[in-house]
């Protein structure tokens, strides 16, 4: 899977004229989604751009990060139809007010740092579980057409609080798809007012360059002259760029029928190779010799897996291969769903094995160096 995500006319038609809310708009994925929606996909993830660009009627960003929101307000001050609101997904009433008249919600707001969630588990539950339920309830009440949750590989066989919260968030979305009431509102050209709200999730792995990810850490360590700390050089990870992630979330929204978990197909790297590639690329930039940068093995963190899982063995039984970009996992309790998802995907090839990083071919070091360069992942992190 590469950064040039082919978007067909269905995506353009899906977004055209819609009123869209992005929660967590100051985060890595939320900000990329807002960029694509507000500026016609100019952030680099759409193949050659779209004919006429993406043209929603309104894009609203919601976040609890006051400073980040202020900066985004300045950045988009001259962009018509873009607005920002300060709000917390823990506040059910606030979400209800913001969602009035909204057609599509992309829910990206979440606590994502594993160790911090482990130290403050109830805060993680309040945001990543109860916050998800607040989004669901507010969307149902407002008659929103589609709601998409961004999830994580850590939801698969979770070993920590953050992963368990993400898994429960997915389950809440899937359950909401079975229990979604008929929309009570609707505007011409904005979906069928008699259709149930569509709830679906998109699950992906590491987003390179996002805040708190290993790539900016490696770069900062090279800048200081080392050492570059590596948990385990043979550890494998799924990776993609922020632009890829945002493009695939948009694409999944246009495909969703209700209750699905879309699993993105991703490139795979060894952590040791990634560290080597960063040292070789960035040491000369900082006036240092790559061979002078020490690498220090520190061992895996508590609860950290040596490989990543994007689809479990149990999920394989109800998973299908959609295209170059996605697998789709259907709900376990298929009889509860009237949306026809099973029939929609029945003709596709069934998945044969779990999707885990240590079973995939990894990028070699030279390919990885080119990838980091070509995707500008070493700039501005």
Catalytic residue ranges = 154
| Neighbour-count burial of 361, counting CB atoms closer than 10 A to its CB (0-12 exposed, 13-18 middle, 19+ buried) | exposed
Q: What's the number of CA atoms in the CB half-sphere (13 Å) around residue 121?
A: 5
Tokens representing 376 are 């500008």
Bridge partners (DSSP) listed for residue 58: 19
Q: What's the number of CA atoms in the CB half-sphere (13 Å) around residue 26?
A: 19
Instruction: Report the relative pairing of strands 319-321 and 326-329 from DSSP bridges.
Output: antiparallel
Tokens representing 221 are 């360590």
Alpha carbons 81 and 218: distance in angstroms, whole number: 38
Distance from the Cα of residue 309 to its chain's centroid? 15
Residue among 37, 34, 46 nearest 2 (CA): 46
Alpha carbons 108 and 152: distance in angstroms, whole number: 11
Instruction: Report the relative pairing of strands 326-329 and 261-264 from DSSP bridges.
Output: antiparallel
Instruction: Cite the beta strand spans of the chain per DSSP E.
Output: 19-23, 58-63, 82-86, 104-107, 146-152, 198-204, 206-207, 228-230, 236-240, 261-264, 267-270, 295-297, 309-311, 319-321, 326-329, 349-350, 355-356
Tokens representing 184 are 């009570």
């Amino acid at each position: 899977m590469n950064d040039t995500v082919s978007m067909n006319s269905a995506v353009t038609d899906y977004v055209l004229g819609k009123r869209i809310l992005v929660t967590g708009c100051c985060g890595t994925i939320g900000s990329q989604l807002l960029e694509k929606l507000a500026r016609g996909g100019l952030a680099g993830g759409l193949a050659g751009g779209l004919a006429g660009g993406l043209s929603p009627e309104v894009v609203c960003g919601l976040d609890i990060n006051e400073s980040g929101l202020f900066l985004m307000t300045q950045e988009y001050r001259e962009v018509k139809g873009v607005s920002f609101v300060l709000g917390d997904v823990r506040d059910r009433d606030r979400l209800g007010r913001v969602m009035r008249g909204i057609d599509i919600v992309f829910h990206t707001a979440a606590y994502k740092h594993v160790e911090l969630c482990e130290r403050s588990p109830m805060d993680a539950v309040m945001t990543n579980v109860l916050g998800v339920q607040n989004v669901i309830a507010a969307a149902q009440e407002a008659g929103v057409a589609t709601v998409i949750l961004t999830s994580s590989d850590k939801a698969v066989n979770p070993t920590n609080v953050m992963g368990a919260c993400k898994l429960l968030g997915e389950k809440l979305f899937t359950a909401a798809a079975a229990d979604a009431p008929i929309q009570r509102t609707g505007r011409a050209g904005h979906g069928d007012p008699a259709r149930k709200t569509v709830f679906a999730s998109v699950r992906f792995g590491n987003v390179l360059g996002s805040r708190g990810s290993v790539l900016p850490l490696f770069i900062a360590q090279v800048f200081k002259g080392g050492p570059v700390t590596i948990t385990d050089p043979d550890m494998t990870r799924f990776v993609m760029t922020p632009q890829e992630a945002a493009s695939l979330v948009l694409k999944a929204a246009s495909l969703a029928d209700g209750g699905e978990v879309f699993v993105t197909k991703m490139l795979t790297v060894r952590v040791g190779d990634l560290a080597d590639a960063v040292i070789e690329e960035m040491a000369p930039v900082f006036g240092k010799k790559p061979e002078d940068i020490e690498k220090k093995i520190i061992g895996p963190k508590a609860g950290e897996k040596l490989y990543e899982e994007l689809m479990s063995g149990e999920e394989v039984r109800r998973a299908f291969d959609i295209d170059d970009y996605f697998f789709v996992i259907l709900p376990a309790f298929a009889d509860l769903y009237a949306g026809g998802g099973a029939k929609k995907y029945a003709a596709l090839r069934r998945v044969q094995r779990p999707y885990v990083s240590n079973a995939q071919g990894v990028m070699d070091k030279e390919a990885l160096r080119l990838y980091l360069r070509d995707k500008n992942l070493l700039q501005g992190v």
